[in-house]
Amino acid sequence: MKSSHYLFPALIMFAASTSLAYANEGEFEPFFEAVIMGGIASLHAGDSTIDMTASETDKLVQTNENDWNSWIGQLGLGYVFQLTDEWASGEVQWFPLITPQLNLYVLGNGEIKGDMYQYESAALNNLDYTADFNSTRVMFDLNVTLAAIEQFSVYALAGAGIAWNTIDFQATPNLNGLACGANGFNIESASSTSFAYEFGAGLTYAMADDIALSLEYLYTGLNDVGIGNEDDIGFDLQSADFDMNTQAVLFGVRFAL
């Protein structure tokens, strides 16, 4: 992992029924929790390359990595366990709850733009590229409530799963490329499957005995996202992968079942 990958405090779902736990300071019964979340995301292509031929590797340099131009939705189901026998109103509870979760995420309308350096040389910046990206993933997460007091709790999570990705890729000559006769190409609706991992942390506010609000930041790594092969574009493309990751901010509701 690159050094920038260590920066993510991530927030994603909810470890805990702060609501029911606070409402019942005596016996705690484990329970299921449903989650509905939505928000915005930013896509990052990292240091990605395309092996155009056996002798030519081109570098993809993203120029819009700070754009939050994607939407993300989440549905989840968790099972909340208590980690401590003590639960006193008005006092900080440390590590009171843990929640294994199964989460479905859908990310759409993502767009990556940038420069394509032929032979990985900035002096051969002859092509611009645009990639439209969509992804659906199923993740198993472990969510731990770090601290809770009254209606508020802070949590962190980590998890892994599988992502199904679709990407449309277009490379077009820029002014330099037109001057030297560079050729563009298109790859339409290339699909791939990749391993995914995520880290998270967030804040939850219990509104009632069985409902709470959550605000979170989520980092997800999608590893190598393929963008096609030679059958799609009519020449001997060796390999083409994005080293993709996303950051997301989500807001949502969770319900004790």
219 band by pLDDT with thresholds 50, 70 and 90: very high
- Give the range with max mean pLDDT: 10-19, 166-175, 235-244: 166-175
The token pair that represents 70 in the structure block? 């994607």
Q: Within 13 A of 132's CA, how many CA atoms are on the CB side? A: 8
Q: What is the pLDDT of residues 37-75, one digit of tens each?
A: 999 999 998 778 887 777 888 888 889 888 898 999 999
Identify the pLDDT of residue 250. 97
Pairing of strands 185-208, 239-256: unpaired
Domain 3-256 fold? Porin (2.40.160)
Q: So where are the chain's domains?
A: 3-256
Which of 12-21, 73-82, 141-150, 211-220 shows the lowest per-residue confidence on average (mean pLDDT)? Answer: 12-21
